[in-house]
Amino acid sequence: MSPTRKVRKPRRKKEKSLAEEVVEALEAGKSVRRDLEGGRLHIDRPLPFLCLHVGEPDGHIVAREVAAANASYLLVSRIEDAVELIVPIADALRRKFGTFVLFDIDEFDRDRLLSDDAPFLQPFEVMLSATPGIAANRALEAFETAVKAFEARFRTPHVELCAADDDPCVRSELLALQLPLLTLRFAPIYRVTGSDATYPDLRERLIDNFLDAGLRAFAAFLDADGFPKPATYRAFGRKAFIDAVERADRGMDDVASSFDFLLAVTPINADAAWKEFKANKFEKPPRFLYRPLSLLVEQEKRRLYSIALDRLEDPVLHQIYREKQQELDLQLTLIAEREKARFVEFGRTLYGPVEPSLLKAAREVLDGTSDARRLPSLSDDDDEVVDCFYVEHRARSMMLDYHLRYDGFDAAIELRDDVPAGLLVSGRRLLISRRTRMMRHRVEALLSHEVGVHLLTYFNGSAQGLRVFRTGLSGYEGMQEGLAVFAEFLAGGFTPERLRLLAARVIGCDLMLAGASFAESFRVLVQDYDFDTEMAFGLLLRVFRGGGLAKDAIYLRGLLSLLSHLKAGGALDPFWMGKISASHFSVMEELGARGLLKAPILRPLCLETDRGRARLERARAGLTPLSMLEA
């Protein structure tokens, strides 16, 4: 009988502490996001700073949100928990970068400078302190300068500076760490005095301003300490989308994808309406028919406002999605008000009025292109005219060129009977009306407009990681159409007739918004501006669709905005990243600098030709819409 062998139990592997796991991730260059009791540690990439807020989650809420808006932050309920993590994190980051700074953020318990009997609103209190050292003091100066430039509505900041050792608000536990330290304390002016309510706009403004000031301070500190200078101080901001952003993005896209706004308000009986209007000797307004609605507006609005935007942690993205939420709400309202009297006013809210400067520019264009008056109707025996099938063939050829450059360019073409003559992009689809007939020399230019801008920015936006960049940021349509018209110019197909059409759309929108009827507006275009009757009808069908939509004024407005942007030395690349408005240009630059957005995968093919490049340079030197015809 063999002796019994003693079985040795395997040793249990020692579990790593949270601090050890965090240090290991930072040394490997990875991100960290750990929920803690009453808080969170978030470092979206190793950076030589850490923002700290100590307090309960329902306590000083704006100080907590200012800290959490940064790319590297620690939220804890107790200072002891903070110290346990700060020491190893600081050591790891200092080894990696050669420098490190801690930024402690909190609020005062009350607004001490505000009194009920004051004849005006007093300044609000802001206290800043720093530990000794050139870099820390440079950071303090940068923060002070930024805070003093705040645009806090109604009240201005009163800034006090002191050494961290002399600041009664600085926690002794943090001073004992012997780390470079900045501290911020501010009055809770976002709270309604005597209640638990807050001023939401002021709250957001404070978060944005303190975040921006903090990033400036970090840049100043690191620059003074010899850290390589980034292209912009905002590059120290967030560089990763958290789950809450992706959830909000998916939710917003689901709502946006549940309807097609332009198709919903575009008549499906254009040909029959024209024949009816003509038979009535252009006196009786045409009757337009629309697609039956396949959505319940109230249900989509409930879905829209169930999307949580309060946990995005990034003020820039929060603003983007809030604006988009409001725009989708307005579009849904317009669909619900289709063919009703109030439709035109909601349309004015969405697209704006025809401002006097735009109307003046439109009239100048029409006066300056008088030689192009009386554009003839297209006839069957005109060998320069092509039909929808030729346009479809050329569109497929252009789409193939883009697909060969980027296989994610997966567009589709649909020939449709239910859209007016011409082309229309909806998502990834190019819709071509079977009634389309146009001059051959206009085809490449129009495809550069629809495929080379609208579809290109859809697929470039799809590659950004967030769907909102393909759906379009709020107000994107004006710049999109300006870019698209400019692409026609780069492609060599921008004609006096086309420019007159864009100007006439402005005139039509102005007449409609001023209360003119369809027939009255028609007479102005035909009698005063010598437009062909069928062209005038097609133009006004777009203007009066749904009950009166001022969208078509955006083409000339967008072109003027783009020409001004180019003359001022502005770049085009941010506009190719996705569907954005002129007001979002700086936002796209910042998100790009932070690494949140990619450079555009595709650029318009018309920019690759010698003609396109030469025309772009002429535009940079300064062009007007009229001088584009001679360039």
Lowest model confidence (mean pLDDT) among 114-118, 434-438, 498-502: 114-118
How far is the C-alpha of 594 from the C-alpha of 233, rounded, in Å?
9
Structure tokens at 313: 């942690």
Q: Which pLDDT band holds residue 29 (cuts at 50, 70, 90)?
A: very high
Among 127, 103, 141, CA closest to 220: 141
pLDDT in tens, 371-407: 765 444 444 444 589 999 999 999 999 999 999 999 9
- Residue ranges per structural domain of the chain: 18-238, 260-294+337-628
DSSP-derived secondary structure letter, 503: H
pLDDT confidence of residue 194: 77
pLDDT in tens, 153-202: 567 888 999 999 998 889 999 999 999 999 999 999 898 887 888 888 88
Whether the per-residue pLDDT at 220 is higher than 90: the answer is: yes
CA dihedral 112, 118, 124, 127 (to 10 degrees): -50
Tell me the C-alpha to C-alpha distance, in Å, between residue 614 and each of 311, 488, 609, 619: 47, 14, 9, 9
Q: Are 551 and 459 in contact (CB under 8 A)?
A: no
pLDDT confidence of residue 381: 46
How far is the C-alpha of 153 from the C-alpha of 343, rounded, in Å?
34
Which amino acid type is present at position 499? Answer: L
Which whole number is the average pLDDT over 492-512? 96
pLDDT confidence of residue 209: 92
pLDDT over 90, % of the chain: 80
Query: What are the strands of the beta sheet with 39-43, ordered from one edge?
Result: 32-36, 39-43, 72-76, 49-54, 101-107, 181-186, 124-130, 157-163
Which whole number is the average pLDDT over 116-132? 78
pLDDT confidence of residue 539: 97
First CA to last CA distance, the chain: 105
CATH 2.40.128 fits 18-238, yes or no: no
pLDDT in tens, 533-582: 999 999 999 999 999 999 999 999 999 999 999 999 999 999 999 999 98
| Global confidence as pTM | 0.85
Lowest model confidence (mean pLDDT) among 6-10, 97-101, 294-298: 6-10
- Tell how strand 101-107 and strand 49-54 pair up: parallel
How far is the C-alpha of 16 from the C-alpha of 13, rounded, in Å?
9
Q: Are 485 and 559 in contact (CB under 8 A)?
A: yes
Q: Which pLDDT band holds residue 7 (cuts at 50, 70, 90)?
A: low
pLDDT confidence of residue 153: 55
Which whole number is the average pLDDT over 73-92? 96
Whether the per-residue pLDDT at 476 is higher than 50: the answer is: yes
Whether the per-residue pLDDT at 248 is higher than 90: the answer is: yes
pLDDT confidence of residue 382: 46
pLDDT confidence of residue 490: 97
The angle subtended at Cα 388 by Cα 383 and Cα 389, nearest 5°, is 90
Return the SS3 of 23.
helix
| More reliable by pLDDT, 10 or 274 | 274
Structure tokens at 61: 């809420």
Q: Are 264 and 333 in contact (CB under 8 A)?
A: no
Whether the per-residue pLDDT at 1 is higher than 50: the answer is: no
Mean pLDDT taken over the chain: 92
Strands (E), 124-192: 124-130, 157-163, 181-186
